[in-house]
Structure 1
Amino acid sequence: MSKKVCGTCLLTDDVEGVALDSDGICNVCRIWQGGGEQRQEQQRMHFQKDLEATLRAAKGSGKQYDCIVSFSGGKDSCYLLHRLVVDHGLKVLAYTSDYDIPPRTWENIRRTVKALGVDHHVHKPSLTLYKRFIRHLLMNQGPKGAVHTVCYFWLDIREGDLLRFALDKDIPLIFTGYSPGQPDPERMLYEMPPARIARDWTPHELFRSGVFQEHELALFWNPRRYAAGVTLPRILAPFHAWDYDQAKVTAKVIELGLVQDRIHANPVLSNFTLNWLLMYSDLKNLGHNPYKPEFSKLVREGKAKRLQWRIVFALMDFMVRKQILMGRHIKKSLQDLELQLDDLKMAPPAAVTPTSRGTQVHSDTMGKPRDYA
């Protein structure tokens, strides 16, 4: 049976929880049309009010740096850096986690740092550590597939690094370039919930399984290592508070010289190369492109162009299935991880247990990992 595509937002009925009505419009769009737009705009205005007050207070902090920007080198983080430095006059430290960043994205990073004259800290995580957990998670995926399982665990490590670094440098604010379609709402919208930051993110199940060793405990965020009463940094996503238009952001970063051209600004091409293997796994196991919900949300809300993403999704799926052009990275990632395509598996639903961080791991696969965000 062929899948049906929403005539408004491009979601397909093979995405969990999505159904199309007789007019070819999905249930998510109907909710949006039935008052969801007004409620979201009210929420955005609330976020914007808080962000404006936060930016004013940060500018007068008197600290060496007013904030850190999680700087991936994509168009959104480049534009975010520009707005904070130029429009708001903040003393910003750009922070890049140097793992699997494509050469094209490094060009964006270098151009933006030079153009804005900001200090730039490059963190080099352990390649062995990353290989170990990615390999394990790909063989033991949660019900939402490879992108969700690997990337959200990866985010816990990266954002934990940012939190520790911010505390060490006495920087009270961390800004991220999440678009309004990112990340999953249960993780955060405009602000990561302070209660979440106040929790231990250590993946204790993976320590018991042997994926991580005891001496690696310090690699994971745990606020209990700090003195009682310490003020923890806030993590904010300004694009959830500002008006956002994907095409305008792309045009602006090119006009400003932060990004060379549309190819360098394309989120499909600037993402980490492992992403192509993750997409292959999700097309195989879930039957649909894992990024459809994210970009369909932007299309639904008028923040991205429907025709553009209809073409992009078709090209992405073609490259992944044929393993050509950008899809060639699939074979290289498999080699680097010492995996076969048949190793990309989802664990049985009964085996899934939540961790204290909200990332899902799988209790029947907690044996010693085979010699894996």
Structure 2
Amino acid sequence: MADNSKLEIFKLISKRYTFREVAISKCGLDEAQENDNQIFNSLYGLFLQKLTQNEVWTNNRTKLGLVLFSSAGENVNEVFKAHSDACVIEGFIDGGPYDRIRRMAEKDDTTTTTLLDRNKIVTDRYYLYLYLPLNSYVGLMFLERKKGQDIHTPMELFLNETLKVRNNIHVERYIPQSIIEDFKDEGIIDSFTFSERGFNLSVFQIVGCLLAGWFVYKNPSGVSDTTIDYLLSSLSIITGFFFAVILLSYDQFNKIEVPNSRATEDEKIKALKSINFLKKYNALSCYAILLAIIVIFMLIGTLLFGQKTDIGKDFEKASSLEDVALFPTLCFYALVVWRFLMIYFLLDFFIITIYAICSLFQFLNLQMLDLQLPFAVNASHVTSEYQVYKHKYGKIGVFIVLLMGILLLLFATSLCFIYK
């Protein structure tokens, strides 16, 4: 039978205390009298104390227990040992479910059975590696995961019970950046799962909000008529482009040949990549069109109402609460919010447009890189553009063309200065 064990990596974050301070606080040590090895061994002793008691460490939340079993003649310090010079604790621990009624029997003889009551625990052995640098707030945990069963949740609770001083030890999965980048380039998204999140903005959204607020503050008179004309023209053209892209995406989607069961894995992956890209690109295009339509209506509304309003001159700051007029105040805040949202949606539209173009380039680039020609090209027969021009015009001709290009560039630059 194949071994389906996996090794998962977690970051252990102690928010306010280093692991040295945790050991000193939990073990009641005198830092002046203890060296690093003694401090770390005291930290290791906290784990041994909880795992080698006469009863299993349990938690009613998970109904999974942890313990450190040792066979006859086996020392627990060898099964689960500390390397104090490297700030590492590694070895094996036992864990498994309890609080279940089960029946056990021989596979070849079911006449004799044994009842396992709720107080019995059935364990597997898991590999555990802890890196707890004494002068750091962050450590690492490597934990084995078996098919259909893992103990990372009870292990997280166990770590908090063992190492918590005031704040909980935060445990989060750790994925190296290189793996993240590989997934971005080569990964295929099979399905999305949406969940509710708190107030969380991306960096681009935060920058867009700041730029929109800065624009409203620095331009109290709003957007000029000329700028609105240019924006309406640009948005209309780009919106038409995205409409054409959506139609082309649908046409390309219909041309994709869905691989059958006899298809190779490469053919299935290629088809799935194409479908996934078209889904993403279609969503981006529809979102960009929606933003463009919203901004167009807001720009038209600005032309019809409030375009000549200067919030710096047409509104006065009240000297007291009695002088505050309700209707002008509401108009002021409505105008500020209107202009802020209009600029923010406009910036968001251009961000989405740039992202869509980059996604298209990345997809086409990967498709071209994956393309394997059925023939080989001799590199010695490949001629560069310079060699073509040199063969056609000679060396002097090439230099003349370059000189003419430089002169034209200087002439265009001088015209710009003259125009100014």
Structure showing the higher strand proportion among its residues: 2
Q: Please confirm whether the aligned pair reaches a TM-score higher than 0.5, indicating the same fold.
A: no
TM-score, scaled relative to structure 1: 0.19
| Greater length-normalized contact order (CA 8 Å, ≥ 6 residues apart) | 1
Larger radius of gyration: 2
TM-score, scaled relative to structure 2: 0.17
